[in-house]
Each structure stands twice: as structure tokens, then as C-alpha cells.
Amino acid sequence: MVAKAAAPISAKAARKLAAETPLGLKRRVRRMARLLAEAHPDAHCELNHSNPLELSVATILSAQSTDKLVNEVTPKLFARYRTAADYAGADRAELEDLLRPTGFFRNKTDSLIKLGQALVERFDGEVPKRIEYLVTLPGIGRKTANVILGNAFGVPGITVDTHFQRLVHRWRWTDETDPVKIESVVGQLVARRDWTMLSHRVIFHGRRVCHARKPACGACTLARDCPSYGVGPTDPAVAAGLLKGPRVAELAELAELAGAPVP
């Protein structure tokens, strides 16, 4: 998927960015990463799983779906299909029926059966722990591979999904639009050990604060460091109404403490 380039920013923000050195950018990114950690202490992988195979399956099912829908389907699925061999030998009609609520269920059924077969044939039925092997598996692209590495194996990985792309563009961490290049640029700006958690926090920020259509700029703790401050409402009362999720009050309070950018 190719991301859109970032929306225009104010002349003042553009001047500030033009004067930003590579070291200045790195410092700003790390400051923002710390603020994100403070704002989203509950950030985590929202796909329920208890082993690498379950996470691989859940991540494949999450394409064009929501984590909530996937989590509704997986308890029954995981109870019925416990090993790669179970997926390899699955009855297509039965599996399709289980996956139907997640959408694109025929393609997903196909991917899961092929995934099971590939794991049995090439990896002894185990999900491999290396990205170069993971991306050779049916239904698993680089984004999915990084989710699996980071959350099932504890190997740091950056997950460049649509939220991540939108936010790093708004923040002008990079102008790259190719997810692999974005991953590489951000990977150099942030310590490797922080990659997985940063991915979760950025995605949480995208879901709860920095929405695609109406970002809650006036209730955003990153406002001082964000070149796109002002693309959404800056009035704190209006912006607070745009916040989503279970931590609305805490997010609004953190933003108030951080203060708005100096005009």
C-alpha cells in the first residue's frame, strides 16, 4: 500500500522544520516517543493470542477488519484449530463459516490453509522467528511479520499500518511513502528496543487522538512538537470532545499540562 504524502503545514511550522538538523529531528522524535509512552501506558497488541501461530492467524484475519471483530471470531477458531497441521487439513466450508464475520472470508480461508501447509512443509509446523522467512509465508507481508516478531517473539519490530503512516507524516518524521522505507527511517530515529512499543503507542494515538479526519489538536500532548498542530480543532474544549477510548480524561489532562504551542 502506498501512503498519501502529508497535508500542508503552517508557514511558521515549515520554517521551523527547515531549520531542523538531523540531531534536532532525532531529539524531537525521542521527546515525542516519551510523551506517547506517558499518554498511552495501556498500549498493547489488541489481537488476542497465546502463541505465535494464533497471532499469525489473527493478524491475517485483521486485514480489512477490526481487531474487535477478529477477537470475537478467534476463541472458537483457536479451540478448533490448534496446530499448523489443523489449518493445512481444514475443511474449507467449515473454516469459511467461522471466518465469515471478518469479511473477505474466502481469501482468508485460502491464506490460512496455505499458511498451515507452508508451515508444515517448510518449518516443521512452527512459525519461524525471522522476518526473511515470515514474509515468504502465504498471507504474511512485512507489516504482519513485524507484528508477529514484536508480539509473539519479543523481537523488536516496527509496524507501519495506516495510522502509523498518517502520524509519522503529520509529525514530519519522514516524507517517505513506502512502508519499508518508513520503517527504515523511523528505525534509525528510535532505539531498537523501543520499536514494538512505539508502534503500539503511535497506533493508539492514531485511534484515540490524531484521527484521520478530525485530529484533536487542542487536546493533544504532542502539540508543541507537532508541525501539523492546527490541522484539527485547537480549542481545548472542542478537541476534548474528539478524544476516543477509555482514557479521555487522562489524555485531556496531559495535554493541558503540556500546554499549547506558542503562537
Asked if 98 contacts 92 with a C-beta cutoff of 8 angstroms, the reply is no
* Interaction pattern, residues 190-229, with ligand SF4; x per rule: CB under 6 A: -------------------xx----xxx--x-xx--x-xx
Q: Helix, strand or coil for residue 100?
A: helix
CA 42 to chain centre: 14
Task: Choose, by CB under 6 A, the member of 231, 240, 243, 252 that binds ligand SF4.
Answer: 231
Residues of this chain, 169-188, that bind ligand SF4 according to CB under 6 A: 170
> What residues are annotated to the active site?
143, 161
Nearer to ligand SF4, 128 or 218 (CB): 218
* Least separation in angstroms between CB 21 and ligand SF4: 21
φ/ψ bin of 8: left (φ > 0), alpha (ψ from -120 to 50), beta (otherwise): beta
Nearer to ligand SF4, 135 or 254 (CB): 254
Nearer to ligand SF4, 150 or 232 (CB): 232
Binding to ligand SF4 by residue 160, rule CB under 6 A?
Answer: no
CA 173 to chain centre: 16
* Least separation in angstroms between CB 232 and ligand SF4: 5
- The rounded distance, in Å, linking the Cα atoms of 242 and 217 is 9
Phi, psi of 246 (to 5 degrees): -80, -5
Asked if 189 contacts 173 with a C-beta cutoff of 8 angstroms, the reply is yes
Nearer to ligand SF4, 39 or 119 (CB): 39
CA atoms within 13 A on the CB side of 140: 30
* Least separation in angstroms between CB 239 and ligand SF4: 8
Alpha helices in the chain (DSSP H): 11-18, 22-39, 52-61, 67-80, 84-88, 92-99, 105-123, 131-134, 142-152, 162-170, 179-189, 195-208, 236-240, 248-258
Q: Which amino acid would we find at residue 52?
A: P
- The rounded distance, in Å, linking the Cα atoms of 222 and 5 is 20
* Least separation in angstroms between CB 151 and ligand SF4: 24
Binding to ligand SF4 by residue 39, rule CB under 6 A?
Answer: no
Binding to ligand SF4 by residue 243, rule CB under 6 A?
Answer: no
Binding to ligand SF4 by residue 35, rule CB under 6 A?
Answer: no
* Least separation in angstroms between CB 159 and ligand SF4: 18
Nearer to ligand SF4, 137 or 217 (CB): 217
Nearer to ligand SF4, 111 or 228 (CB): 228
All three cell numbers of 12: 511558521
Positions that interact with ligand SF4 (CB under 6 A): 170, 209-210, 215-217, 220, 222-223, 226, 228-229, 231-232
